[in-house]
Chain A
Amino acid sequence: MLRRFVSGFEMAVLLAVAVFVGMLFLNSPTKPPGTPAAVVAAAGGIDGGELYGNKCAGCHGGDGSGGIGPRLAGKVVAKFPDPADQIAVVTNGRGGMPAFGTRLSADEIAAIVEYTRTVLGG
């Protein structure tokens, strides 16, 4: 009886592995919203969305829904009424978040912050 149960369970796990492999290839990621031309222009031609995708999405999610890092979409404006405070966090880091002040220019950080506050529905 136990052997029969275990054999059945193994078959179920095998099916789960097949589903897992299928999802790896069939599941499409949510594309992060692109940066409107006006926002890029306001940032001096810097595409904050592209920078966000390269530097921030890994922790905060492509759509800002969070992951390792907290959710940004729909949250950051309320959390940081003054954009300068959000820029300071990105520049200097906080807690588990690394400081980006040495990796990105001030204009790039500003463009990313603007992207999160406008395009991601801050």
Chain B
Amino acid sequence: MSDANVVTPQRETNMMFVGAVLAGALVAVLAGVYGRMHDPASETTIKLFFSTTLHFKAWVTTAILVLVIGQLFGALWMYGKLPLGDPPEWVGSVHRFFGSLALLLSLPVAYHCLWSLGFNPDGGSGRRFWHSIFGCVFYGAFFTKVLVVRSKKMPSWALPIVGGVLFTTLIAIWLTSSLWFFRQFGWVV
């Protein structure tokens, strides 16, 4: 009797990955549906010590970008792509921590985007449309990544691909929001 727990057929792992991607896609679609159907509040939300909510969002997203760039280096190190030798055991835990921190920081930003501004594809701005798309994809990709990390039945290439999508999406989010904001209003707090 073959031990199916030791060797997982490739087809099964691929199907598991497809399932995780579909689950993430559902999260992304639900976020977009909420943004589209919800009546935008057009209100300020949290701003802490920043001038406005938008200043808060621009700078926090920039902080998330810095974290994500760090995540990229951590991931490359764990996969042996950096000339730094074998990564210490704590690198994985630190990677998980900063990934969770990035998600936590994104929540008040996304809250204002979804609740206060909404998703208006007819807003007349390509930048806002694509930012909305990338924002939804980001959370879908994050959900997929969590599923991939937690499962022992994923193909070995799944995690780097999903991580890459997450990284790329965050870059696109920053370019279509924070960078636009700083170019419009300056690098002010």
Instruction: Please give the residue numbers on chain A whose beta carbons come within 8 Å of chain B beta carbons, in ascending order.
Output: 2-3, 5-6, 9-10, 13, 16-17, 20, 23-24, 27, 29-30, 53, 57-58, 61-63, 65-68, 96
Contacts and interface: CB of A to CB of B under 8 A. Distances in A.
Main secondary structure of the interface of A (DSSP, over half): helix
Given A6-B97, A23-B115, A27-B115, A61 B110 contact: no
B42 A16 contact: no
Contact of B43 (A2, A5, A63): A63
B100 A9 contact: yes
B46 to A, nearest CB: 11
24 contacts: A3-B93, A5-B97, A6-B100, A9-B97, A9-B101, A10-B100, A13-B100, A13-B103, A17-B103, A17-B107, A20-B110, A23-B111, A24-B38, A27-B41, A29-B42, A30-B43, A61-B42, A61-B43, A62-B43, A65-B44, A66-B44, A67-B44, A67-B54, A96-B185
A10 B149 CA distance: 13
A97 to B, nearest CB: 11
Interface residues of B, number: 29
Q: Chain B: interface secondary structure?
A: helix
A10 B39 CA distance: 31
B43 A67 contact: yes
Contacts of A66: 44, 52
Contacts of A20: 107, 110-111
**Shortest Cβ-Cβ A-B pairs, 6 listed:** A29-B41, A57-B42, A13-B100, A62-B42, A20-B107, A67-B44
Nearest to B107: A20
B127 interface: no
Given A13-B104, A16-B107, A63-B43, A24 B184 contact: no
